[in-house]
Amino acid sequence: MTTTITICDTCKLQGWDAETQSQTDGERLASQIEKAAEGVGSVQTRRHSCLMGCSHGCNVAIQSDGKLTYVMGNFEPSSDAAEGIVKYASKHAESEIGQVPFREWPQAIKGHFVSRIPTLSSSK
């Protein structure tokens, strides 16, 4: 089953300046994640403006029907972060309930979890 990475495209890190920067930090991270996810069949991406975690951007959510949802934040818009997020999402896709064992977490996502949201389904 496919896992979706929802990326906040309006996150701005401290020091972001509209006068000098044409893209938000969220847009930059989204571009990096979209690039990292190219060719990864089990992962799709989408952008969304504001996940209501503005004080700890950049933020993403990892979601799939009937599975645990994870929200992560405090990311820099870097290729390392993007690759870690996509790798984690591909492991989320492989898991029946969306739970990835700690030993399989990419280093880049450690310390970035904000919340875990259970499925609404009562069967999982």
Stated as kind and residue range, the H or E segment containing 4 is strand 3-8
- Kindly indicate which of the ranges 46-54, 61-69, 85-93, 95-103 contains the residues binding ligand FES, using the contact rule CB under 6 A: 46-54
84 near ligand FES, judged by CB under 6 A:
no
Tell me the closest approach of the beta carbon of residue 80 to ligand FES, in angstroms: 20
Tell me the closest approach of the beta carbon of residue 72 to ligand FES, in angstroms: 11
Size of the site for ligand FES (CB under 6 A): 11
Which letter does DSSP use for residue 67 in this model?
S
Closest by alpha carbon to 69, among 30, 37, 98? 98
Q: Which is nearer to ligand FES, 10 or 90 (CB)?
A: 10
List strand residue ranges (DSSP E) for 37-112, in order. 43-48, 60-63, 69-72
- End-to-end CA distance of the chain: give it in Å, rounded: 15
Q: Which residues bind ligand FES (CB under 6 A)?
A: 8, 10-11, 26, 50-54, 57, 59
